[in-house]
Amino acid sequence: METREQYARCLVLAGGGFRFAYYLGVHAAAEDCGRRPDLLLGTCGGAIAAAVIAGLPDAPARLDWIASTPMHRFLRAIRPGVNAALPQVLGGAAWRWITGTAAPRVPDLFDDYLFELPEVLPLPQARLPAAPALAIVGGRLLFGPEDVGARRGSRTLFEEVVFGPQRVASLLAGHAAPAADPRWSSGAIAPHLQTDTTMPVDDAVRISVADMFYFPSHVSAGRRYTGGVIDLFPIELAQALAREVIMERKSPFNPWLALPALRAVLGLDGAARLQHVHAQQAAAWVDTRDVGRDLRAHGIGKRIDWRANRIGLDVPESHDAYVAQVRMQWDYGYRKGMAALEKTQQ
């Protein structure tokens, strides 16, 4: 029978967007401080970093994987969505900001997105015996394309799901879905947390990165899923899973784009959720609130392609330039991780 004993230490890899290489630096700092996590809880871009950490034996191999030619080609192959014309994208963002209504209608998570992901995400396939366990956060859709545009009313649209081994499922059995807490949720998310022990890691990562308006929902075994943004700061899950939690202190959501999107699709008050998370206890808080400033020139960003009437990704064309970008992200994460962990060891 699977143990219900908590893990010793959980590192939460919460988001990161296309700067996910900095999580490898944070993890390396934890190892160098003698606080190697035995559980990685990943959401969104952090799920990619978590899978790479769990699949490779040491920090240099993990950094090499993220900086590899296949990963660079994967990112270069991300293309604007066929329906992501600028007037539609900008108009939708403006509408969400102006209306300010919490999930008034069933959202289009099938055709309304900015980017197409290549079919294969280059992740390590090995699962090393001494590797940390993986828990990946995603959202399961409770509606289909035929429901898009209908008034939601009191309908539940999403379930928060954690993909992981049986031990994770046992520890989270009966747990409430943090995303559904009425202090920040309007009821679009089901109140009970779901777990899935059968989802392949590659699919779980693909699900977690498939955030609304960025990528289309992901289909696995006939079910549709959206990204880890449903619970971007899962501190309650980490606390239930491990005796010690290492987590980021994140910068506020963008009030013009991110907050309206969370409210319109998931019915979430992102600012209230983040404020609550930052008030919780953790063994170490890794302060990455300045990541947007420090890595502004060292991360993949969005750019407007006026000629193509699309929003694209600004991925370095040169592999050497990409490698330099990844190393800057890793160095940032290592520096921030060391600062937080050394402080808690004093």
DSSP character string of 128-165: -TTPPEEEEEEEEES--GGGTTSB-TT---EEEEEE--
- What tokens were used for 335? 């520096």
Please state the domain extents for the chain: 7-341
Query: For residue 183, which amino acid is it?
Result: R
The mean pLDDT value for 101-113 works out to: 93
pLDDT, residue 99, reads 87
Beta-carbon contacts of 306 under 8 Å, excluding residues fewer than 6 positions away, are: 86
CB contact set of 274 (below 8 Å; sequence gap of 6+):
233, 250, 252, 253
pLDDT given for residue 318 in this prediction: 95
pLDDT: is 20 or 182 the higher one? Answer: 182
pLDDT surpassing 90 at residue 312: no
pLDDT at 240: 98
Question: What pLDDT, on a 0 to 100 scale, did the predictor assign at position 304?
Answer: 67
Residue 1 has pLDDT above 60, yes or no: no
CA dist., res. 58 & res. 341, Å (int): 19
DSSP letter for each residue of 246-315: EEEEPPPPPTTTHHHHIIIII-B-HHHHHHHHHTS--SEEEE-TTHHHHTTTSS-EEEEETTTTEEEEE-
Instruction: Give the model's confidence band at 300: pLDDT under 50 very low, under 70 low, under 90 confident, else very high.
Output: low
Q: What is the pLDDT of residues 250-261, one digit of tens each?
A: 999 888 889 999
- Element counts in the chain: helices (H) and strands (E): 12, 13
pLDDT of residue 309: 64
How confident is the model at residue 307, as a pLDDT? 65
